Amino acid sequence: MFFQRIKTPGIAHAAYVLGEGGEAAVVDPRRDVDEYLRVARANDLTITHVIVTHRQEDFVLGSAELARITGAKVVTGRHELFGHGDIRLEDGEEMALGKLRVRALHTPGHTPESMCYAVYVADSPDHAWGVFTGDTLFVGETGRTDLPDPARTGENAGVLYDSVHAKLLPLGDQTLIHPAHGSGSVCGGNIADRDESTIGLERRYNPVFTTSREAFVRAKVAERIPRPPYFSVMEELNLRGGAPLAKAPGEVPLLQPRTMASKIGDGVVIDARSPEAFAAGHLPRSYSIWAAGLPVFGGWVAGPSTPVFLVLTRMDELEDAVLSLARIGVDDVAGVLAGGFDAWRDEGLPIERSGVVDSRELAEQLGEVRVLDVREDGEFEEGHIPHASHLYVGYLEQHLGEIDPPLHASERIAITCSVGHRASLAASILRRRGFEHVGNLLGGMTAWSKRSLPSAKGAERTVTTPDVEGART
């Protein structure tokens, strides 16, 4: 038997290649499918099946594209939310992959259509070797339950709890779990920072096993995980099995500074350099999204048809940047600045700046400087700078006016997150809105805490995650 996990950085996604007897199945592929094809060729495997656990919310699936290239059959459950499926398995129904048996298990809760697939090897036919759990069961966590309908978060949590106990627990302690996401995913809360686990290990420390159904439901209702706007785009695309890449990285034109300047009015500029480099100087009205943050935050500032112009630290970052955006459906990368910011600067073109703030300096000026914390709700409540206002960075453009007391463009504002990356994005958003005196707290709350500077707990002066406030039951 052949088995390989293929991880996608940024979105913390994991796909899998499972092979036996020359046949292979790919589980939950992303839209850029070349890596799966290379793995199959390198191991003399023919991809015969593409298995989909659910529609996926945080990236564009590659199931249709991989099936088109290889002639493989797309395997799904029978729920209508899967869209196309060549083989649609009932709960408990099995299919063969060489000498392996793959059993479909309907496990709703994260989404109504969610499926898991248990794998049985020939020399141990009565005990599952492993199970592909999609977003139903993660290492140390379960999938979020607010996505289908925030008003039914608690109800969905109960359904998820029942699914795990009825369908996955009976597989046995020996069963390896292979989830679709790892630590850092927006599809779950506190996912453990490791890839390997078993049902037996999860049974001893995963909350879905160690708490009562009622306590589990309460905890899920209390979760407040931001829902990026591109999730709805992913759901629609993935109903069709995803989409092929709209543009290869090599097709993105390199634009000389003055050409770039003439075009950027039609789209948005994303500066993928470090927060410190952005603060020192950047193109007017550009967004600051560090390179590793593109697969998540790019979808907050651009849509599928938004022309995007990139400013990179090095040109060898282009392929990763384009693919990072493509994986969340941001397809129109219209150009990259040739020569980077240095070329723009040397051409004498307009430059804007945003400030930086040191934690000790801020501590001495707390009565004079407004503090805005742009971390997630739970992070803020665990500890923040006293009297800081709070709004998650993803909601800043749409809900800026809900901060109480209001932010004024003339006041000095220090922005903080955990270390400075999200705060840099927030600073760029405020700069675009005409705020002149914004500074990124270097090192964020990490540096603030390490210096033992004053902190407070709770939901003081916060705007709660707007898309779920008051909607949970």
pLDDT tens for the chain, residues 1 to 473: 999 999 998 999 999 999 999 999 999 999 999 999 999 999 999 999 999 999 999 999 999 999 999 999 999 999 999 988 999 999 999 999 999 999 999 999 999 999 999 999 999 999 999 999 999 999 999 999 999 999 999 999 999 999 999 999 999 999 999 999 999 999 998 999 999 999 999 999 999 999 999 999 999 999 989 999 999 999 899 999 999 999 999 999 999 999 999 999 999 999 999 999 999 999 999 999 999 999 999 999 999 999 999 999 999 999 999 999 999 999 999 999 999 999 999 999 999 999 999 999 999 999 899 999 999 999 999 999 999 999 999 999 999 999 989 999 999 999 999 999 999 999 999 999 999 999 999 999 999 999 999 999 988 777 776 664 433 22
CB 19 within 8 A of CB 43: yes
CA nearest 461: which of 360, 409, 385? 385
Helix (H) or strand (E) holding 121, with range, is none
CB 134 within 8 A of CB 28: yes
Which residue in the block uniquely carries the two structure tokens 């100087």?
A: 281
3-state secondary structure of 216: helix
pLDDT of residue 402: 92
Could you tell me which residues come within 8 angstroms of residue 339 by beta carbon, excluding any fewer than 6 positions away?
Answer: 256, 257, 346
Q: Which residues of 71-83 are buried (b: 16+ CB within 10 A; e: fewer)?
A: ebbbbbbebebbb
- Provide the CATH topology of domain 2-238: Metallo-beta-lactamase; Chain A (3.60.15)
CB 118 within 8 A of CB 102: yes
pTM above 0.75, yes or no: yes
3-state secondary structure of 432: helix
Identify the burial level of 152 via C-beta atoms within 10 angstroms of its C-beta, where 0-12 means exposed, 13-18 middle and 19 or more buried. Answer: middle
Identify the burial level of 473 via C-beta atoms within 10 angstroms of its C-beta, where 0-12 means exposed, 13-18 middle and 19 or more buried. Answer: exposed
- Provide the CATH topology of domain 355-450: Oxidized Rhodanese; domain 1 (3.40.250)
pLDDT of residue 462: 77
> What is the CATH superfamily name and number for domain 249-346?
Rhodanese-like domain (3.40.250.10)
3-state secondary structure of 109: coil
- In Å, what is the CA distance from 25 to each residue of 45, 55, 79, 96? 9, 17, 21, 11
pLDDT of residue 467: 62
Phi, psi of 68 (to 5 degrees): -65, -45
Which residue spans of the chain are classified as CATH 3.60.15.10?
2-238
Which residue spans of the chain are classified as CATH 3.40.250.10?
249-346, 355-450
Q: Where are the alpha helices (DSSP H) in 433-472?
A: 444-450
Q: How many angstroms separate the first and last alpha carbons of the chain?
A: 45
Structure tokens at 21: 């007897």
pLDDT of residue 461: 74
